[in-house]
Amino acid sequence: MKSFVSPYNFVNDVDLKVDPKKIIVYDTTLRDGEQTPGICFTPDEKIEIAVKLDELGVPQIEAGFPVVSDGERRAIRNIMKQSLNSEILALTRTIKSDIDIALSCDVDGIITFIGSSDLHLKYKLKMTREQALSKAVEAVEYGKSHGLFVAFTAEDSTRTDLDFILDLFRAATDAGADRVHIADTTGSIRPMGMKYLITQIKNNIDNTIGIHCHDDFGLAVANSLAAFEAGAMAISTTVNGIGERAGNASLEEIIMNLRMLYGIEMPFKYEVLYELSRLVEKYTTMPVPKNKAIVGDNVFSHESGIHVSAIRSEPLTYEPYTPEFVGQKRKIILGKHCGMSSIEYKLDELGLSVPESEKEILILKIKEMAERGAKVGDKEFKNMVQEVLSKV
């Protein structure tokens, strides 16, 4: 794969010499992603998505919230039967019966969560901080005593006093938690704040830090990467960035940022990203925007004659990396901005040729059609070429 990204990225990267094996992407398409209003995967769809996530090489899949329904539990059990390489986690509240239900699904581990902000304690849980802390400890100990991998999430922790987050994480760590998660539940922190918060946790807590971000202000990916830069080694993602409200940090954007803009080689099969995106698009019926980073249909499409001309001599002039790397294809679009290069590219691509003198005529015809609002696809272009040739 050819790529060329800004050399300025690496100027301050002295602290970022991380061991790629220590970075854990824990994808939650099947849990938070499914909590997108109106979305409900069938058990078979869940299996198909889990298999594709496993093929990509995602090390941990949060497969569901078992307490929700029988169907959810069946889906998780069926995913377990696929013997995937990915570890399968289930979400639980910090309630023993939730963990028992997760255990009945045979999962490898749990993410157990409790709200930590005063808002959540007062209006949702009606608990004191002390009560929440003891629930957290109890759940972590219970999960660990049953041999599970246990990650503890402080929900809404980006709106929680630092002292209380540290108390919770210290207690969860002492109780045996394998990882502690910051959840930016309402997507309301910004990257500098995130960097500060994770630095404080890293300086005070001896555990792996995970990060779960929401996109309410369009910062889920930026905040996740800020957390990563400060030392959070586990990053929560969803395919196409689906999830509650504005969604979560997108899997494809996170892993491509790590690969391209951070230069970290990880053992992902990146070429399945496009296919995975379309699979989730199909089962959620949420169309992927054409301009969606990495997997959008316009990401490797070019119309401007100036760009097409440059791309014909070197694609990196207008692409940071080659489309095949993520399972995409380069597309030259014929339209109002096309030029001689676009015509030549298209003729080559379709195995056609016309006399030099006719190419200008084709350009004029395309521009005229585009300005009438008509689409000039391959079929229309072929017809146009036929017409021109018939007159030669």
Q: Which residues bind Mn ion (CB under 5 A)?
A: 32
Nearer Cβ to Mn ion, position 32 or 34?
32
The H or E element spanning position 283 is helix 273-284
Nearer Cβ to Mn ion, position 29 or 342?
29
Nearer Cβ to Mn ion, position 248 or 341?
248
As measured in angstroms, the least distance from the Cβ of 248 to Mn ion is 6
Centre a 10 Å sphere on the Cβ of residue 128 and count the other Cβ atoms it contains. 11
Nearer Cβ to Mn ion, position 63 or 362?
63
Backbone angles phi, psi at 277, to 5 degrees: -60, -45
Residue 290: CA count within 13 A, CB half-sphere: 4
DSSP-derived secondary structure for 56-86: HT-SEEEEE-GGG-HHHHHHHHHHHHT--SS
C-alpha closest to that of 148 among 64, 94, 88, 208: 88
As measured in angstroms, the least distance from the Cβ of 183 to Mn ion is 6
In angstroms, rounded to a whole number, what is the distance separating the alpha carbons of residues 61 and 75?
A: 13
Contact 24, 239 (CB under 8 A): no
C-alpha closest to that of 201 among 191, 209, 189, 211: 209
Nearer Cβ to Mn ion, position 96 or 245?
245
In angstroms, rounded to a whole number, what is the distance separating the alpha carbons of residues 144 and 301?
A: 50
As measured in angstroms, the least distance from the Cβ of 214 to Mn ion is 6
Q: Which residue is nearest to Mn ion (CB)?
A: 32
As measured in angstroms, the least distance from the Cβ of 253 to Mn ion is 17
As measured in angstroms, the least distance from the Cβ of 319 to Mn ion is 33
As measured in angstroms, the least distance from the Cβ of 32 to Mn ion is 4
Nearer Cβ to Mn ion, position 32 or 229?
32
